[in-house]
Structures are given as structure tokens and as C-alpha cells.
Amino acid sequence: MKTFILFIFAAGYTSAACTQDIAQADIPSLVLNSFQSKFSNARDVEWERKGALFKVEFEIANRDHDLWLDEGGNIKKHKEELSETDLPAAIKQKLNSDFKEYRVDDVDKIETEGKVIFQVDLDGKSGDREEWFSADGTMQPPVN
């Protein structure tokens, strides 16, 4: 039991060490300028360092966003919270036909490497599931 508790503590410590909160004043100017030029109306901005990337969490018009930028200020990934009504019609149709026993819980739009993917969290009596779609309603593999 002691070994198990020690393992849990070490795993938590290791994952915490990989992510580090950063004050905005400590963000490199290329990264900060890139973010501010594209999201000048962002509110509740919080920065973290995740390996070689900078992650910024922020809000625009009551929607949560996560943005990952490299040290040159290039956007690597953008995740935006959406409502179910914001889903493309093809995805809504797919959900109504193939997942009608589920209720949509959360929706995120993820842009990475020039692709747009929609992550849909579903709640159902038989359990919860997470599905990924392209805008045309085609199911996709998960995006990291």
C-alpha cells in the first residue's frame, strides 16, 4: 500500500512538473504579440508552459479557448468551446441518426495542422463517450 501511495504521489509530482504557470510578463514577446494581435479581445488570460509550447487559456464572449503557441509565436493548436447549436449541420444529422440515445454534453472545435475537428462529449444511460468529427460529419480519430 505504501508503494502504491508513493507511486501516486510521484506520478502527480511528475505531471505537475511538466506544466508550469507563467506570468504574462515572462512570456516571450514573439509569443505574446502573436496572441494579442489575433485575440485582442481576450479576457481572463492565463499562461502555462507545456514542454516546448506555451498554452494560453482565455475567454471571448463567454466561450473558453485554449491556444498552444511555439516559441516563434506560431499557433500550433486552437481549441474553442462551442454550443451544440454551433455544430455543422452534417454533424447534427450524424448525431441524430447514429447517437440518438445520447445527449450532447460538451462541444469543442479544434484547429490543428490546418485541420478542423469537432470533439463531442456525449452522455447516455449506457455510459458516456467522446466522438470526433470533421465538418462534413465523418467520424475522425481523436486529436491530442
pLDDT of residue 144: 77
Residue 131 bridge partners (DSSP): 120
Higher pLDDT residue, 116 or 1?
116
In tens, the pLDDT along 91-114 reads 999 999 999 999 999 999 999 989
**Contact status, residue 55 vs residue 22, Cβ threshold 8 Å:** no
Q: What's 45's domain CATH number?
A: 3.10.450.360
In a domain, 86, yes or no: yes
- Specify the pTM: 0.83
Tally of domains within the chain: 1
2 falls within a domain: no
Predicted pLDDT at 16: 47
| pLDDT tens string 3-30 | 444 444 444 444 444 678 999 999 999 9
Residue 13 included in any domain? no
Edge-first strand order for the sheet with 19-22 is 19-22, 43-50, 53-60, 63-69, 75-82, 102-112, 115-124, 129-133
Can you give the pLDDT at residue 143? 85
